[in-house]
Amino acid sequence: MSNWKHLSVSGGIIVLLILVPLIFTRTDILTFFFLTLLYITLSQSWNILGGYTGQINLGHAAFFGAGALAARYIWLHFGLPLPLAILGGGLAATIFAMIIGFPAFRLRGIYFVIGTLVLAEILRLVFYTILPRADVMPMRLLGAYSLIPRYYLSLLIALLTVAAVYWISRSRLGLGLMSIREDEDAAEASGVDTQRYKLLAFAISTFLTGLAGGIYAYYSAAFRAGGLFEPVWTFDAVIIVFVGGVGTILGPVIGSVFFVLLKQFLSLYLPGGIHVAVFGVLFIIVVLFLPGGLVELITRFRKRTSGGSIQIDS
């Protein structure tokens, strides 16, 4: 596709997304749009570290949770303006990531995977203990609660995240990150400071995750602090990335839409627990038969219909 076509398609989609609250007024539909956008940010940010840099972070929830908690406190409990609070969420997640990043990246491969998993688990347990109560939005805010500003804010942050990944994938930085994913020794030998770029990727990834947390803090009528660190936040992001297509820009976007639609559709039309099992089966099928994710399906389809050769699009 030419650049122009790319631009006009993306522009069209953005305009449609801006129109969404004007078209749909049902709270459930708006909620699903909101969640899809939240998942796009959550999974795309995971993709930066996991997909592009090759560092499987199973502690993603830790940074989402840190961002959400920080934002909520700054906003509701310290009374600072919302944009500052959400930014604060992103920063809190990043600072936390940098503190643990130095030791964590001493761990290679599977040790990093399990180390991050355990990190989130520790936070989950600790926060369930020190903040056992749900954090409920004050009644005065609940009375005036509207999904529309929440929707637009999540749209903004999702667009920001996708744009960030687009820029990274086309930049020198992206090349460096991918080289780390492919072979750390060879990356070093080509002049890439792998430790530094891993940390940088970690910082960007966690900053965006923290923003996702911030948005959630703004959205959520109530949450339990420990629940923000539940492994589902990590696993949902991982599932979305792999189902959509790991290491691609479109993957997490398509994956999020698919994920929210499918889960919701199944739970409404296949009740009695079947939906959970069916989702599991579908997920396995995608992993086994579509290693490149849904994005691969699309490129295959395009290849077949156009008959032309495809270029490697990273």
**Site for other proteins, residues 92 to 151, rule: CB under 8 A:** 103, 106-111, 113-115, 117-119, 121-122, 125-126, 128-129, 132-134, 136-139, 142-143, 145
d(CA 241, CA 9): 22
1 is an interface residue for other proteins by CB under 8 A: no
Q: How far lies 236's CA from each of 22, 60, 160, in Å?
A: 29, 10, 20
Among 10, 20, 32, 290, binds other proteins (CB under 8 A): 32
Among 19, 182, 301, 302, binds other proteins (CB under 8 A): 182
Output 176 or 210, the one with its CB closest to other proteins.
Answer: 176
> Per-residue contact track with other proteins, 34 to 73, x per CB under 8 A?
-x--------------------x-----------------
257 is an interface residue for other proteins by CB under 8 A: no
Alpha helix ranges (H) inside the chain: 3-23, 27-47, 60-72, 82-104, 110-130, 139-143, 147-170, 172-182, 184-189, 194-219, 231-244, 250-269, 274-289, 293-306
- Contact range with other proteins by CB under 8 A, out of 62-70, 73-81, 91-99, 190-198: 190-198
CB atoms within 10 A of CB 226: 19
d(CA 119, CA 130): 17
d(CA 84, CA 232): 27
189 is an interface residue for other proteins by CB under 8 A: yes
6 is an interface residue for other proteins by CB under 8 A: no
- Contact range with other proteins by CB under 8 A, out of 9-17, 86-94, 269-277, 296-304: 269-277
Report, in Å, the least distance between residue 161 CB and other proteins. 20
Output 123 or 158, the one with its CB closest to other proteins.
Answer: 123
276 is an interface residue for other proteins by CB under 8 A: yes
CB atoms within 10 A of CB 189: 10
Burial degree of 2 (CB within 10 A; 0-12, 13-18, 19+): exposed
For 53, list phi and psi in degrees, rounded to 5: -100, -10
The two structure tokens encoding residue 30: 């708006």
What is the biggest distance separating any 2 CA atoms in the chain, rounded to whole angstroms?
A: 60
Q: How many residues bind other proteins (CB under 8 A)?
A: 91
Among 14, 166, 277, 300, binds other proteins (CB under 8 A): 277
14 is an interface residue for other proteins by CB under 8 A: no
Output 4 or 289, the one with its CB closest to other proteins.
Answer: 289
CB 94 within 8 A of CB 213: no
CB 47 within 8 A of CB 267: no
Report, in Å, the least distance between residue 80 CB and other proteins. 22
Report, in Å, the least distance between residue 92 CB and other proteins. 20
261 is an interface residue for other proteins by CB under 8 A: no
22 is an interface residue for other proteins by CB under 8 A: no
CB atoms within 10 A of CB 123: 22
Report, in Å, the least distance between residue 12 CB and other proteins. 27
Output 100 or 160, the one with its CB closest to other proteins.
Answer: 100
